[in-house]
Structure 1
């Protein structure tokens, strides 16, 4: 009997894992991954492929759950029958990969649950009222709050309670609890999005990938700059007091962060261009801290690729790589190669454009204070980088002395040689020492260092600093000096009344230029203008500056 019971449970698992709905959609020519809104729920399929296919796939999923329970009931052992319900559900959630030939689609499994509940009622393994109770609770919770995942968990909690109150065997009670635990694990991301306020409700119109109307969809990858930023999302806020009390170590949080795949943590809404086009932007995050990008580049690249795939599943046409995401995978090239279905950009072109547009104003304001640029010394920090070298090239002809600071002296010297030919009257100095900043009247900084690099002892009295670093290159202690002026760079205000549930730390209604580039590509459909790799074409820089003005984007001074 024990062997036969185990065999039937294995069969129930295999029946539950059969990709019948997936196969039907695929045979009908439907790209399941591009069709789902990160959850292949029946209402999403109904909205996208019509009632015929939607109800057919729903019926097939329910049928396999019902069949799995019906076969197990042949032993006339209620505990085995209830356990088969759990086995079928687990099979649906975790099918063998070889059945799909790819990563299985992330269906909710609610129709399978409906099938197994019907099977339990028909076979008598559970009373009719106990099998119907979760359906009623599901309908009530989902209908009132609009969250299908919450309704499912509430219904399974009611079923678990009902089985606990019935004179059922321990295996049956554990199986009911197992259904609740499995569903909770399946819906952990949905619960996180509910806490963050980004989970779609029943009836929400989720945009389709590749469909253009008056609304376009984009995505942007962010990450915490410090451990404090980790608590910004509500799904992780509960950890903060535990860490503060020493119940959980910071090292444990960091380790957990490295294991978390990309997830949707926020949205930008209310962005509307001058020509009336609405831009929705999903904020995605795998909460890697800056040191991880430096120490584990392979992990960071893998997470960026996963983020691009998630963006595509969510219906985005373009995904931007923000902060340290922008430098992973050869500055986005490897990410684009791995996920060709969506446009990937590191935002370098418009970032350079905003800096190019801001520098004349900064120099003019500096000169207006009575200082002569021809007698001034300027320094560029991070001059080995594309953005910082662009700054150096712009200001070199206008100042007496230019100090280029970087990490690679050989590269610095090659860059300096180019500038010396173009600005023959300017003294150009290359160095790796930050102490030389003490000689600079103007400092332009654009590094990718995860920590501040400029401190009060580096800065002379009355110096101006243009900080393009993300995170900031200038330590907070410098801001306390009243004689020093720090100007943040690369900040843009999109058109319309932008709202978001995530503080991007660029000021109300403002975003970094790399994110703005993502929005502009989505709005214009000019996907060939994407920024990838180390090279930034001048024509693309000019394109984004011009299009930004046409669409209503404003550079924040």
Structure 2
């Protein structure tokens, strides 16, 4: 990537993006900027960049004095630079009947290493731009048959990511890892193992008779609870309040498959799968747990509940009518418990057409959780790209399930920020309509039904309704960032095990400090799924009525993300089926990407 390829400016720039003569303290240059202000994403362009200041133009404005994080993405290097500063000045300007804001940041003092690297980059960019001004225009080069003047610059800056999110992920790579490759990029070969042996789980010992007996004895309260939850549906509301705790909100989930059943009923491990499948086919809705620790803006403690609509994903697909009825019965239980809003998790939103089939049948507010799930997926993309030195404005993004609710919202959020968008979906009519809409917004986009196209993508988001894994290890490019935003998962676990040169992130996991779900979702304490946390957020801000019904609206995603930050909710640390993702993993991914580009 050359510096010239990194330049882009819609305002007051000549062909090469030079905005003015550089001063001693900064360089006037047009570089793409991805901006995240209070959860709203947009794309801007720099006016100048210096060691102590930065100015850029974008469609949205933060408040003066706001604290900002600035990630600088370098070209053809494994390094990134994370700086911080405050908004010093905000000026409004009208450009082609469009409102834009010029934002000036005052950067905090740099470390010696950071100052040395950034100063070197600015000097090289300055020299490069000065050389361009001495040569003929691009039109003259083409007319005379001369090649355009380009200078490969491994240290050049490709783009910036500026955010006011106070909850950046706790990754702090060491200086030697960050900048060691800048002075001699490409001199070391990148050698990665493309396969690793999968650990075979040791066979579980057969349960002893005493253990079986203990499991059944411990299950007696669970059977009593099931009877209680059935009675609540038929008793008068005044009487049902004595059987279950009143709640402010509920989240409705379901078992993804039969292996989820023991999370609530441990004795199910002792039963044949066919019996468990038949049991849950006829099981009525029940309370899985109570959600505690959430506070409203007023400071009042709120209580929630996680309810289970007991059909697996496969059962819902085979009998969608029964699935819709079971979801409705679960909402009825939520109403009996006094909930004001209910979140539809996983396939419960899909079988009800994103809640639309329930609108005239319920008396509480509904939300699908899809806007927050989409917003979290995009936040994972931006954070992972920044931490692995991937320039989003120069990246190709593939979204599998791009015409779906979460996928289409991701497309609308990432389309203006990325270089090219590939939407993959089997729903041709919806896909064509979305592609047409995005093209009218001057977004480079194409639609296809071929999942093999993910091989071209630097960033992949998987967000389909499929109950099976769709993305295998052999169809991803080295250094790719893969966000699995689906429930059940769309990315095969083998990708994380067999492709150490690919970064797989299980998305839609949110840290919810002080809030406990009190149910085994396979998450850490104080964490929740994005769709569940959307319901929590709406309850905390006192939302009345329905929120997200039908296709996810990106504006809802920005709104819910801003509210989440005010509550202290934030992205959970990256993880996948191999466990937490470390700083060493991020460095390895960045090196793999550079290795694929340079062929070393």
Where in structure 1 are there 5+ consecutive unaligned residues?
1-149, 155-183, 194-202, 209-215, 244-249
1:554 matches 2:583: no
Aligned length: 345
- The alpha carbon displacement at 1:379 in A equals 0.9
Aligned partner of residue 411 in structure 2, secondary structure: helix
* Counterpart-to-counterpart distance in 2, 1:373 and 1:332: 33
Q: Does 1:240 align with 2:269?
A: yes
Residue from 483, 486, 493 that aligns with 2:501: 483
From 446, 471, 474, the equivalent of 1:454 is: 471
The match for 1:299 is 322
CA-to-aligned-CA distance 1:492-541 (integer Å, 9 cap, x gap): 222315250x2112333211121112112222221235211225362x33
- C-alpha separation in 1, matches of 2:319 and 2:381: 35
- The equivalent of 1:39 in structure 2 is none
- Give distance in 1, aligned partners of 2:414 and 2:548: 24
**Alpha-carbon distance, 1:350 to partner:** 2.5
Q: Cα deviation per residue 1:325-376 (whole Å; 9 max; x = unaligned)?
A: 1222221122232122x2222122322333344443333334x2xx554553
Counterpart in the other structure of 1:224: 255
Contact kept, 8 Å, 1:262 with 1:285, in 2: the verdict is yes
Give 2:374's aligned residue. 352
The aligned counterpart of 1:543 is 559
Say which SS state the counterpart of residue 287 (structure 1) adopts: coil
Please state which structure has a larger fraction of its residues in helix: 1
Q: 1:436 aligns with which of 448, 453, 475?
A: 453
Q: How does 1:172-183 map to 2 (within 5 A)?
A: none
Shift of 1:438: 1.7
Residue in 1 aligned with 2:403? 384
Choose between structure 1 and 2: higher strand proportion.
Answer: 2
Contact 1:272 1:496 in 2 (8 A): no
| Equivalent residue for 2:349, pick from 287, 301, 326 | 326
Counterpart of 2:383 in structure 1 is 361
3-state SS in 1 of match to 2:248: strand
Aligned to 2:339: 316
2:297 touches 2:541 (CA, 8 Å); kept in 1? no
Seen in structure 2, the aligned counterparts of structure 1 residues 296 and 269 have a Cα distance that, compared at 3 Å, is same
Q: Closer, same or farther in 2 for the Cα pair 1:423/1:265, shift >3 Å?
A: same
Contact 1:377–1:403 under 8 Å retained in 2? yes
Q: Could you tell me which residue of structure 2 aligns to residue 401 of structure 1?
A: 420
Please tell me whether residue 339 in structure 1 is matched to residue 366 in structure 2: no
Distance (whole Å) between structure 2 residues aligned to residue 282 and residue 187 of structure 1: 14
- Alignment match, 2:522: 505
Q: 1:273 to 1:355 in 2, by over 3 A?
A: farther
Conserved 8 A contact 2:395-2:419? yes
Partner of 2:534: 517
The residue matched to 1:444 in structure 2 has which SS? strand
Who wins on radius of gyration, i.e. which is larger? Answer: 1
Q: Does structure 2 retain, via aligned residues, the 8 Å contact 1:308–1:335?
A: no
Q: Deviations over 1:237-285 (max 9, x none)?
A: 2232232xxxxxx233212211111011212223335753322221111
Give the 3-state SS of the residue equivalent to 2:466 in structure 1: coil
Q: Structure 1 441/360 Cα, relative in aligned 2: closer, same or farther at 3 Å?
A: closer
Task: Find the aligned partners of 1:187 and 1:517 in 2 and give their Cα distance.
Answer: 27
Are the aligned partners of 1:521 and 1:529 in contact in 2 as well (CA < 8 Å)? Answer: no
Equivalent residue number for residue 126 of structure 1? none
Q: For residue 405 of structure 1, report the CA deviation from its aligned partner.
A: 0.6
Equivalents in 2 of 1:219, 1:398: separation in Å? Answer: 35
Q: CA RMSD in A?
A: 3.1
Q: CA deviation at 1:306?
A: 0.6
Q: Distance in 2 between matches of 1:263 and 1:508?
A: 23
Distance 1:350 1:188 in 2: 31
Contact 1:380 1:445 in 2 (8 A): yes
Match of 2:512 among 491, 494, 497: 494
* TM-superposed deviation, 1:378: 2.1
TM-score (norm 2): 0.53
